[in-house]
Structure 1
Amino acid sequence: MAADFDELRSDVKESQNESLEAVKSVSAPDARSVVRELDVDDSGEAGELRGGEILTDELTVQVVPQGEDEFVCQSCFLVRHRSQKVEVGGQAFCRDCEG
């Protein structure tokens, strides 16, 4: 008698069915319960906002204009020193982007 080696053994079929039933019987969390769990902070109380500081300070940045010995790479748009400049097709690229 020829044996079908592709067919699952009966004990394997039964264990697959049992495990499938076990998975189906487990109650999976719904989206709302996950959100509720995430809303509860470490103290266990929901609804409290975690404090972020409100800053009234102003950020001051000094902008330095591009120097005569600098250029802007046409690929990464960083300001580079002219020693990094490589011209390809009339456009300036830095050595990192040129390759």
Structure 2
Amino acid sequence: MATDYDNARRREDDELETDSLEGLKAAEAASSPIDEDGEIVDSFDPPSNDLSGEELNVQVVPRQSNEFTCSECFLVQKTARLDHRESDGSPVCKDCA
């Protein structure tokens, strides 16, 4: 018996009728990783390592006189990246403009 390898494979235990609209909706709902809010739902396993006693050694430098904080993305940028100031005086960087 010849086998057509170009056709989609179907499982024998697949009882959903995908030729009708209801069958397609049921098949999509059963296999969709998206919840009702439209967000992608994936399982998340937190790391098993206990990092509660771990300390981070990061040097925090305050904002310099030649820097500003963008009012749109809240990133600290150099003044050369300043695009414009809003009517209330809040700065906006070139990326957000």
| Alignment TM class, shorter chain as reference | 0.3 to 0.5
Asked which structure has the greater CA Rg, the reply is 1
TM-score by length of 1: 0.44
**Which structure shows the higher helix fraction?**
1
